[in-house]
Protein backbone atom coordinates (compact mmCIF):
# COMPACT_ATOMS: atom_id res chain seq x y z
CA UNK A 1 0.00 0.00 0.00
CA UNK A 2 2.87 2.38 0.73
CA UNK A 3 4.40 1.75 -2.68
CA UNK A 4 1.07 2.42 -4.37
CA UNK A 5 0.64 5.68 -2.46
CA UNK A 6 4.18 6.76 -3.29
CA UNK A 7 3.55 6.03 -6.96
CA UNK A 8 0.31 7.98 -6.96
CA UNK A 9 2.00 10.89 -5.21
CA UNK A 10 4.89 11.02 -7.68
CA UNK A 11 2.50 10.88 -10.61
CA UNK A 12 0.48 13.74 -9.15
CA UNK A 13 3.59 15.85 -8.59
CA UNK A 14 4.83 15.07 -12.11
CA UNK A 15 1.44 16.00 -13.54
CA UNK A 16 1.41 19.35 -11.71
CA UNK A 17 5.01 20.18 -12.70
CA UNK A 18 4.51 19.24 -16.35
CA UNK A 19 1.22 21.13 -16.53
CA UNK A 20 2.79 24.26 -15.01
CA UNK A 21 5.76 23.98 -17.39
CA UNK A 22 3.41 23.51 -20.35
CA UNK A 23 1.26 26.53 -19.50
CA UNK A 24 4.23 28.78 -18.71
CA UNK A 25 6.16 27.88 -21.87
CA UNK A 26 3.06 28.21 -24.07
CA UNK A 27 2.33 31.64 -22.61
CA UNK A 28 5.96 32.60 -23.26
CA UNK A 29 5.65 31.57 -26.90
CA UNK A 30 2.64 33.82 -27.34
CA UNK A 31 3.69 36.81 -25.22
CA UNK A 32 7.45 37.16 -25.78
CA UNK A 33 8.52 39.53 -28.53
CA UNK A 34 11.93 37.90 -29.02
CA UNK A 35 11.31 35.22 -31.63
CA UNK A 36 14.40 33.20 -30.66
CA UNK A 37 13.25 32.86 -27.05
CA UNK A 38 9.77 32.00 -28.30
CA UNK A 39 11.19 29.20 -30.45
CA UNK A 40 13.11 27.71 -27.50
CA UNK A 41 9.99 27.92 -25.33
CA UNK A 42 8.09 26.14 -28.09
CA UNK A 43 10.55 23.26 -27.71
CA UNK A 44 9.90 23.27 -23.95
CA UNK A 45 6.17 23.08 -24.70
CA UNK A 46 6.66 20.04 -26.91
CA UNK A 47 8.79 18.36 -24.24
CA UNK A 48 6.10 19.01 -21.63
CA UNK A 49 3.50 17.39 -23.87
CA UNK A 50 5.82 14.40 -24.30
CA UNK A 51 6.06 14.12 -20.50
CA UNK A 52 2.27 14.06 -20.26
CA UNK A 53 2.21 11.25 -22.82
CA UNK A 54 4.64 9.31 -20.62
CA UNK A 55 2.29 9.68 -17.67
CA UNK A 56 -0.41 8.11 -19.84
CA UNK A 57 1.89 5.11 -20.58
CA UNK A 58 2.10 6.18 -24.22
CA UNK A 59 5.86 5.88 -24.56
CA UNK A 60 5.83 5.54 -28.34
CA UNK A 61 3.75 8.72 -28.76
CA UNK A 62 6.12 10.52 -26.36
CA UNK A 63 9.13 9.39 -28.38
CA UNK A 64 7.46 10.48 -31.62
CA UNK A 65 6.65 13.83 -30.01
CA UNK A 66 10.30 14.41 -29.12
CA UNK A 67 11.74 13.11 -32.39
CA UNK A 68 9.32 14.80 -34.75
CA UNK A 69 8.28 18.03 -33.07
CA UNK A 70 11.35 18.81 -30.95
CA UNK A 71 13.99 17.22 -33.16
CA UNK A 72 12.55 18.24 -36.54
CA UNK A 73 9.87 20.93 -36.47
CA UNK A 74 11.38 23.07 -33.71
CA UNK A 75 14.90 22.75 -35.14
CA UNK A 76 13.56 23.74 -38.56
CA UNK A 77 11.97 26.84 -37.02
CA UNK A 78 15.30 27.76 -35.38
CA UNK A 79 17.11 27.28 -38.71
CA UNK A 80 14.61 29.58 -40.42
CA UNK A 81 15.04 32.22 -37.72
CA UNK A 82 18.83 32.13 -37.98
CA UNK A 83 18.88 32.12 -41.78
CA UNK A 84 16.42 34.99 -42.15
CA UNK A 85 18.66 37.61 -40.57
CA UNK A 86 16.40 40.54 -41.34
CA UNK A 87 16.52 43.55 -39.08
CA UNK A 88 13.26 45.43 -39.29
CA UNK A 89 11.32 47.32 -36.69
CA UNK A 90 7.83 46.06 -36.01
CA UNK A 91 5.04 48.46 -36.86
CA UNK A 92 2.32 49.08 -34.35
CA UNK A 93 -0.82 47.14 -35.13
CA UNK A 94 -3.99 49.17 -35.40
CA UNK A 95 -6.35 48.45 -32.51
CA UNK A 96 -3.71 46.14 -31.05
CA UNK A 97 -4.99 46.46 -27.46
CA UNK A 98 -8.54 45.65 -28.52
CA UNK A 99 -7.35 42.60 -30.44
CA UNK A 100 -5.40 41.40 -27.41
CA UNK A 101 -8.48 41.74 -25.21
CA UNK A 102 -10.65 39.85 -27.70
CA UNK A 103 -8.01 37.11 -28.01
CA UNK A 104 -7.81 36.79 -24.21
CA UNK A 105 -11.60 36.52 -23.93
CA UNK A 106 -11.72 33.81 -26.61
CA UNK A 107 -8.91 31.87 -24.92
CA UNK A 108 -10.62 32.09 -21.53
CA UNK A 109 -13.85 30.88 -23.11
CA UNK A 110 -12.11 27.88 -24.66
CA UNK A 111 -10.38 27.13 -21.35
CA UNK A 112 -13.71 27.28 -19.49
CA UNK A 113 -15.33 25.01 -22.10
CA UNK A 114 -12.54 22.45 -21.79
CA UNK A 115 -12.69 22.65 -17.98
CA UNK A 116 -16.44 22.00 -17.94
CA UNK A 117 -15.99 19.12 -20.38
CA UNK A 118 -13.29 17.51 -18.24
CA UNK A 119 -15.20 17.88 -14.96
CA UNK A 120 -18.58 16.78 -16.33
CA UNK A 121 -17.37 13.71 -18.22
CA UNK A 122 -17.61 10.36 -16.45
CA UNK A 123 -14.13 8.99 -17.06
CA UNK A 124 -13.86 5.21 -16.86
CA UNK A 125 -10.83 4.61 -14.64
CA UNK A 126 -9.69 1.04 -14.05
CA UNK A 127 -7.64 0.39 -10.88
CA UNK A 128 -5.83 -2.53 -12.50
CA UNK A 129 -3.46 -1.58 -15.32
CA UNK A 130 -2.41 -4.33 -17.67
CA UNK A 131 1.32 -4.87 -17.98
CA UNK A 132 2.15 -4.19 -21.62
CA UNK A 133 5.54 -4.53 -23.23
CA UNK A 134 7.30 -1.22 -23.65
CA UNK A 135 7.62 -0.09 -27.24
CA UNK A 136 10.65 2.02 -26.31
CA UNK A 137 12.69 -1.15 -25.83
CA UNK A 138 11.78 -2.34 -29.31
CA UNK A 139 12.53 1.08 -30.79
CA UNK A 140 15.89 1.22 -29.02
CA UNK A 141 16.84 -2.22 -30.29
CA UNK A 142 16.01 -1.27 -33.88
CA UNK A 143 17.74 2.12 -33.66
CA UNK A 144 21.00 0.62 -32.41
CA UNK A 145 20.96 -2.55 -34.49
CA UNK A 146 19.05 -2.54 -37.79
CA UNK A 147 18.82 1.24 -38.31
CA UNK A 148 22.06 2.36 -36.65
CA UNK A 149 23.66 3.76 -39.83
CA UNK A 150 20.64 5.86 -40.98
CA UNK A 151 20.20 7.11 -37.40
CA UNK A 152 23.80 8.30 -37.18
CA UNK A 153 23.71 9.79 -40.68
CA UNK A 154 20.60 11.79 -39.79
CA UNK A 155 22.30 13.16 -36.66
CA UNK A 156 25.41 14.14 -38.65
CA UNK A 157 23.23 15.83 -41.28
CA UNK A 158 21.41 17.86 -38.62
CA UNK A 159 24.74 18.85 -37.05
CA UNK A 160 26.13 20.03 -40.40
CA UNK A 161 22.95 22.00 -41.10
CA UNK A 162 23.14 23.60 -37.64
CA UNK A 163 26.76 24.66 -38.16
CA UNK A 164 25.94 26.05 -41.60
CA UNK A 165 23.00 28.03 -40.23
CA UNK A 166 25.17 29.51 -37.48
CA UNK A 167 27.88 30.51 -40.00
CA UNK A 168 25.33 32.14 -42.29
CA UNK A 169 23.55 33.89 -39.43
CA UNK A 170 26.70 35.46 -37.96
CA UNK A 171 27.70 37.22 -41.18
CA UNK A 172 27.35 40.95 -40.97
CA UNK A 173 25.12 42.79 -43.40
CA UNK A 174 26.59 44.57 -46.42
CA UNK A 175 25.51 48.25 -46.55
CA UNK A 176 22.83 49.03 -49.13
CA UNK A 177 24.55 52.23 -50.32
CA UNK A 178 27.32 51.54 -52.83
CA UNK A 179 30.14 54.07 -52.99
CA UNK A 180 31.01 55.84 -56.21
CA UNK A 181 33.72 54.04 -58.15
CA UNK A 182 33.14 50.71 -56.40
CA UNK A 183 32.77 47.69 -58.63
CA UNK A 184 29.15 46.55 -58.90
CA UNK A 185 30.03 42.88 -58.70
CA UNK A 186 31.68 43.38 -55.32
CA UNK A 187 28.49 44.82 -53.84
CA UNK A 188 26.62 41.62 -54.69
CA UNK A 189 29.02 39.42 -52.74
CA UNK A 190 28.11 38.24 -49.25
CA UNK A 191 31.25 39.24 -47.39
CA UNK A 192 32.24 37.60 -44.13
CA UNK A 193 33.45 40.82 -42.50
CA UNK A 194 32.44 43.71 -44.77
CA UNK A 195 33.24 46.44 -42.26
CA UNK A 196 36.94 45.55 -42.01
CA UNK A 197 37.22 45.13 -45.78
CA UNK A 198 35.49 48.42 -46.46
CA UNK A 199 37.79 50.21 -44.02
CA UNK A 200 40.84 48.63 -45.66
CA UNK A 201 39.60 49.70 -49.10
CA UNK A 202 39.43 53.30 -47.92
pLDDT at 110: 93
Query: Over 50: is that where the pLDDT of 33 sits?
Result: yes
128, part of any domain: no
**pLDDT on residue 100:** 80
43 with 70, same domain: the answer is yes
In this structure, what CATH number is given to the domain that contains residue 31? 1.20.120.1200
Rounded mean pLDDT, 78-83: 77
Range of the domain at 106: 96-121
Whether 199 and 142 map to the same domain: the answer is yes
**What's the whole-model pTM score?**
0.56
On whether residue 127 sits in a domain, the answer given is no
Are residues 105 and 155 located together in one domain of the fold? no
Q: 54 with 105, same domain?
A: no
Alpha helices in the chain (DSSP H): 2-31, 35-55, 59-64, 75-83, 96-120, 135-143, 148-169, 184-187, 194-201
Are residues 104 and 173 both part of a single domain?
no
Tell me how far apart the alpha carbons of residues 8 and 127 are, in angstroms, rounded to a whole number.
Answer: 12
**What is residue 184's predicted lDDT score, i.e. its pLDDT?**
46
106 and 148 inside one domain: no
Amino acid sequence: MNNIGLGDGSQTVSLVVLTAMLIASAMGVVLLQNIVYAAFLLGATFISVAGLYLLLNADFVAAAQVLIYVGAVNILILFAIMLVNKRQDYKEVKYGALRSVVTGVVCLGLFALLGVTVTSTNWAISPAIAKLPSTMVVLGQHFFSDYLLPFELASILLLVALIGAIVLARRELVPDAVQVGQVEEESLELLEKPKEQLMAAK
